[in-house]
Amino acid sequence: MRLLPIAALLTSTFFLMAGAGLMGILLPVRGSIEGWTSYEIGAFGTSYAIAFTVGCVVIPWIVRSAGHVRTFSSLAALLAIAILLCALLVDPIAWIVFRALAGFALSGTYMVVESWLNERVTNESRGTIFSVYMIVTMAAMMGGQYVMPLSKPELPVPFMLCAILFALAVIPTALSRAQSPKPLTTVKLDVFMLFRNSPVAAVGVLLAGILSGAWNNMAPVFGQQIGLSTTQIATLVVVAMAGGIVFQIPLGRISDRTDRRYVMTAAGIIGVGAAVAGVYLDHAGTAALFSVAFVVGGIIYPAYSLAVAHANDYAADADFVKVSSGLLILYGVGTMIGPLYAAWLMETLGPAGIFQSIGTAAALYAVYAFYRTFRRVAIPADQRPDFQQVPIARVQTPASFALDPRADLAAADDSEDAVEAEAERRAAQRREAELTAVK
């Protein structure tokens, strides 16, 4: 019964995520079919990431002026318009603009839905609803990938199907009787604060963004270039997402019992190994390729979660939303770099360049995490918050963290005295760690 009041919002989320999943695979594949360069297709991902990140900062001001329902409906309409314009005007420069419009609109629709969900949950139901929201998000994103094979990407039909999904997302929310939530809070990025709190987390989320941006935007192009069918391309993307789901739990649990930086180092090394295998197995058959994609996804998606968890080990509980939101914006910067970096290597070295981009970013991730183990002693495991599985970072907004169960700690401990005491405790831990660090 706890899910009944939010059924309309979850339904809107499903249609929205399915449309986003379809759009994310359709545009790169169609661009590759048109013979556009990897640079041009990579620019789709970069423009999307820029606009998505800007939307996380700007959308709260729009919601305060227009309200949640009108903002959500307008942005969903903009999504439908953007994808239909792609079908009408097949030009790489125009698609860069249309993809940016979609990125801005998606960030806003996600934020509205998540803030609405957060308003409807209680402390007792937060964990259950957050888990259901994760399941809906993952299932819809995966399902959206398989809409593309229903029609040839050369035709306007899949573009129309995507627009229909975005339009369907409006109906449950517009007809919902749920009370509009409080205005969205604005996001402020303080890079110096994030770096002071945890250098490895700040650098880690940036590199995780490069990994994610490279794979999510250029994997469909890779599949098209090596001759995979549309169904196989969709499977390639979905298998990587499945790997992220499967790997995230054991990596997180291990990181609860040991220094998270060792787990980050191991994850980066595994990513390098998978990338090397990908370079040599791109023509070894689909089974081998899907196996590599599973491992690649198993590292790409948890890389972000591990870095955020490490940051929150050193942050005050009351700063959970602030720190996590700031890291998400920094992650967005990485997703701006990733597509162009992968595109450059694919243009220079061929389709396997995507794995070389992943391998170099994963190597930097591992090396820096290991280096930081010599600069600061880890906080004892019994003094750290437990690792929490999070949704795929590319569909997260700052509002996602308000829905996270860990936000309860901040809500329960937000008095001025409590916040100050917690901040002092964390600062003392950091000073002690720095003083006892291995030189």
pLDDT at position 218 over 90: yes
pLDDT, one tens digit per residue, over 240-265 is 999 988 888 888 889 888 888 999 99
The predicted structure's pLDDT at residue 369: 95
pLDDT at position 280 over 50: yes
Name the average pLDDT for the chain. 83
What single DSSP character describes residue 405? Answer: T
Q: Are 15 and 205 in contact (CB under 8 A)?
A: no
The predicted structure's pLDDT at residue 34: 95
pLDDT at position 8 over 50: yes
Express as a percent the part of the chain with pLDDT over 70.
Answer: 78
Reference 388, options 409, 358, 367, 372; nearest CA is: 409
pLDDT, one tens digit per residue, over 89-107 is 999 999 999 999 999 999 8
**1-184 and 187-439, same CATH topology:** yes
Segment of 144-148, 355-359, 379-383 carrying the highest mean pLDDT: 355-359
Of residues 184 and 77, the one with the higher pLDDT is 77
What b/e readout covers 347-383, taking b as 16+ CB neighbours within 10 angstroms?
eeebbbbbbbbbbbbbbbbbebbbebbeebbbbeeee
User: Top-level CATH class of 1-184?
Assistant: mainly alpha
Per-residue pLDDT band at 436 (split at 50, 70, 90): very low
pLDDT, one tens digit per residue, over 219-233 is 999 999 999 999 999
pLDDT at position 284 over 70: yes
The predicted structure's pLDDT at residue 2: 60
Instruction: Write the DSSP string, 256-287.
Output: HHS-HHHHHHHHHHHHHHHHHHHHHHTTS-HH
Chain centre to alpha carbon of residue 319: 21
The predicted structure's pLDDT at residue 114: 78
pLDDT at position 191 over 90: no
pTM for this entry? 0.85
CATH among 2.130.10.10, 1.20.1250.20, 2.60.320.10, 1.20.120.1750 for 187-439: 1.20.1250.20
Q: What residue segments make up the domains of the chain, in order of their start?
A: 1-184, 187-439
Reference 263, options 319, 186, 201; nearest CA is: 201
The predicted structure's pLDDT at residue 189: 62
DSSP-derived 3-state class of residue 409 = helix
Vertex 113 angle, CA 108 and 119, to 5° = 125
